[in-house]
Structure 1
C-alpha cells in the first residue's frame, strides 16, 4: 500500500480510471509530456498514449467546449484548468452547455465531465493563481462541486467524480497538495459524493470547513481541546449539493456553529451553510453563528497572503467568542 501525497493520489485515481474505463480521456494544458504544472498527470501520457492523454492549447473555453462535445459522444473527459483563476473563460461552456445538457435533451443525454482545478492560495503564486471562487460554481444548477482535504479523500472522491454521469468541478486545495502523506490502496474504491465527513467528534461547538482550511481547523481543535473546549470538525467535501443533515445533527448536539473558509466572505458557501442552520436548526443554537473567512478583496500577493487566509489564531478566537 503506497504512502502518497494528495497530488500523487489524484494522479493515481486518474490512472485507475484510464486503465479500467476506455471512455475516459484526460486533457488540458501541459498535462501530457510535462505531466501537469503540479505533476497531477505525471506519467499518464507515457502509459496510456497521446490519444487518451492530450495536451491542449492555452484556451480554457476551448478545453471546456471539447469536454462537452466528447461527453455528448460517449466519452468521459477529465480536464485540468491549471489554476482556478483561469476558469473564467470556460464559464460560458460550463454554465450554458455542460450544466444544461441533461435538461436540454430532456434526459436523453448526460454530460460526464470532470473539471479539475487547483483551489486557493498559500503557495506564493502571482495574481490570478490563488482564487477560491467555489460559490460562483456552486450556484449553477446541474454542476456538482467537490473539494477534498486529504490524499485518501482526493483518491476516492475523484474516482466517484469520474464515474458520475453529470458534470463535476473538482477543486484541489493547492496549499496541501504535498502537505501530508497517507497509506492508500490503489483498489479503485470510490468514496460517496454529497456527504460530509466528521473528522473529529466534539460536544461544545461544530466547525464546518473544507479544502485546505481543514488542516488549520484541526490544529485549532487541538488547541481548543487543551483549553477544555471540545470541537466537532466537519469536512464539507461536496460543496454543492450540501449534506445539510450531517451539519444539522451536529449542531443539535453542540448548540454552536463556526464556519471557516478561505474564500471571500460576501455571498460565499459559508453563508449558505449558515442559512441552512438558521432555517432548520435555529432553536438548537445557544449562540450566534460565526464565520471566519477570507476578506472581500482580491487575494493579495505573497507578502500579505497569510494575512488573507484565516489563521489558527482567528479560528480559536472565533470559537472562544461563541463559547463565551
Structure 2
C-alpha cells in the first residue's frame, strides 16, 4: 500500500486515479478531510475497487495517522493535502498555517515514528514524498531565468509562506533524523476535477454561465502551466527513483500570461460550445488586482529530466483542449461543486473588486 493525503482534492484525486489505472499497482489508503475542495465524486470510478481505501480524517490528527500507518504499513506516504488558494490565504491565513505547517509537522513525526519500527528492506524502501509549489520561490522579473531547485525561498503570500515552512520542515526531518524524504515543487496545474476557484476552471464555468470573466489587474501575470496528468507521472518518477533529501522542480515548459489563458479558453469554447449571444471574450472584465500579486513564475525542470528522464507529455495546446472538453462533458460535476459556500466565496473575493480600465 501507499498512503496518500489529500487524495480527494484536485491533484491528489488525479494521482490516485492515475495510480490505480494500472491493474498491477499497489493499493492506496486515501486520507482526506473533505473540506470545500475535497470531493468524493472525483473518485466515483473507484467505488468498487478494493485497492482503494478511503478514510475521512484530518492530517493534524496524530492518533489517526499513527493508526493508519500501523494498520496498513504503507511503503510510502505521498503528501498532497494542503490549503492552496492564494486569495483564500489572504482572507484567512489561519487555516493555511494549521493544515500546511501543523499538518505537515504531524505527518513527519508520525512517519518518523513508524519508520523507526521498520527493519531491513522495508525500512530501506520507505519514502515520504512532499508535494509543494513553485510559489515558495517568490516572483521573477521578465528577464530572470526560471526557478531552479537552488533558488532562495522568497514567499510573498500567506499561502506560499506556509508551503515554504512545510518544505523547510521536510528538509530538516531528513537532515536531523534521516527520514527518507523527497520534495517536488510544481508549477500551476490544470486539468480535470479542478475546483472552479482557480483561473482556468473559473473562466470555463463563468463563461458557460454567461457571467463576467474577472481578470486581475492588467492580466499580464505569467505562470508556467502543467497538465495535472503530467504532474502525476512526474511524482511517480520521483517516488521511484528520486535521490533522498533532494528537491525536484516539475514544470510544463509552458509560460503564459493570464489574459492569454483567458482568451485561449474563450476561443476553445467558441469552437466547442458556441454562445448565440456572441464570442465569450465579450465577458472579460478587468478587476482590481489582489494584494502582493506575484508577477511571474517559471520552472526549470531540467534536473528531473536529467536524473529521471521525465518530460511533460502535453503541450499547453493539447492539455487545455482536453481540459475544456472535460468540463463540457462533466456539467453535473461542476453543478455539484458549486454549492452555497462556493457562491459565498465568489461574492466575498470578487464582489468588492471594482472594474479596472486595464
TM over 0.5: no
- Which protein is richer in helix relative to its size? 2
**What range is the shorter-chain TM-score in?**
0.3 to 0.5
Provide TM-score, normalisation by structure 2.
0.36
Give me the TM-score of the superposition, normalised by structure 1. 0.38
